[in-house]
Amino acid sequence: MVVVLEKNISDKQLENVIKHLEDFGFAVHKSTGVETTVLGAIGVQLDFDIRNIKILDGVAEVYKITEPFKLASRSFQKENTEIKIAGVVIGSVDVVMMAGPCSVENEKQIFSIAEIVSKAGAKILRGGAFKPRTSPYSFQGMGETGLKLLRKAADTFNLLVITEVMETNQISLIEQYTDIFQIGARNMQNFSLLRDLGKTTKPIMLKRGLAAKVEDLLMSAEYILSNGNKQVMLCERGIRTFETYTRNTFDLSAIPVVHKRSHLPVIADPSHATGLRDKVLPMARAAVAAGADGIMVEVHNEPEKALSDGPQSLLPDQFAELMKQVKLIAEVIGRKM
């Protein structure tokens, strides 16, 4: 931690600042310049609240010089985390496609979509059985029946399963059916859920919250990692800004940013980021070009009848075309699909 002092700090104020730092367990080095005096406070306290020093008389600014996360950081682990499930590897040379409907609606629907996405080259089937809906009057998902259908459809077409878990009470049930737990954007800082999923052994995809900085996303990953589960991947799905023509603003720069700061894989979800079907294809291409380790998109056989998110779901033909194009983009940057 670096503490910048005000020019006119009194001796007494300076002593007080130093005493506080020492009481908090820091070793203090003073460095005096022509215009500014600076204290270096040495000693790692990952969770220290720098405002404790900021409010002292005579202090101009305080900077934390260590990242607040550790296990998630690239400096802790140099090599990329690779998540291996059956034959699929996430975080290596392959760009992995996760596709499927927003919600599991019935057997015919999920089987038909599973077949479509499998044939086009997807490796993982997505589909919600428990749905976090902003309106209490909207379809809330099929529950366990949906999980069973999802698993059966995936097994039939040689796909893995990813599905969302909304609360700690659902973990043990969902664990029986899924290969990957998904934590939704609205639960990114549901710390109870992060902690309990950190104690499971299955891979987890953590979605970025609507107002979450990349640093916050990595802190939430740290919750899971510090509870023991190391198989974490992150997902960029758009943040909230003032722009209104799209549902959210797709922050694709987050992909190279995460890759620099962390060893965890990053998936990109253009369906939720843009919210409209005709923007999904160009933004999926862009995400792969930016270096995403995987893409998640919503696909529906009859989007006009979908119980949720139909408008952002791709038609089967559009999905096949998307697979074709992103495959070529992946190859340009030395990856495979």
Q: Binding of its own copies at residue 58 (CB under 8 A)?
A: no
CA neighbor of 220 nearest in space, from 184, 166, 260: 184
d(CA 239, CA 243): 10
Distance CA 59, CA 67 (A): 22
Out of 22, 49, 57, 155, the only residue in the binding site for its own copies (CB under 8 A) is 49
- Stretch of 109-117, 153-161, 167-175, 294-302 lying at the interface with its own copies (CB under 8 A): 167-175
Q: Which of 25, 86, 108, 191 binds its own copies (CB under 8 A)?
A: 191
Strand arrangement of the beta sheet that strand 27-32 belongs to = 27-32, 37-42, 2-5, 59-63
Using rule CB under 8 A, residue 195 touches its own copies? yes
Q: Which residues lie across from 97 on neighbouring strands? A: 295
152 makes contact with its own copies (CB under 8 A): no
The answer to whether 277 contacts its own copies (rule: CB under 8 A) is: yes
Q: Which residues are paired to 314 by β-bridges?
A: 299
Q: According to the binding rule CB under 8 A, does residue 9 interact with its own copies? A: no
Q: Is the dihedral of CA 196, 264, 184, 336 positive or negative?
A: negative
Return the structure tokens found at 214. 């990349």
Answer for which of 10, 12, 176, 328 binds its own copies (CB under 8 A) is 328
Nearer to its own copies, 239 or 267 (CB): 239
- What is the residue type of 299? V
Question: Residue 83: CB partners within 8 Å, gap ≥ 6?
Answer: 89, 90, 91, 203, 231, 233, 265
The answer to the question of residue 4 lying near its own copies (CB under 8 A) is yes
Q: Does 87 bind its own copies (CB under 8 A)?
A: no
Query: Using the rule CB under 8 A, is 297 a contact of its own copies?
Result: no
Listed ranges 50-58, 106-114, 155-163, 171-179: which one lies at the site for its own copies (CB under 8 A): 50-58
**Residue 268 CB-half CA count within 13 A:** 28
Indicate the residue among 209 and 265 with the shorter CB distance to its own copies.
Answer: 209
Distance between CA 202 and CA 217 in Å, rounded?
Answer: 19
Of 90-98, 105-113, 146-154, 321-329: span binding its own copies (CB under 8 A): 321-329
Q: Does 93 bind its own copies (CB under 8 A)?
A: no
Residue 261 touching its own copies (CB under 8 A):
yes
- Binding to its own copies (CB under 8 A) within 229-258 occurs at 239-246, 249-257
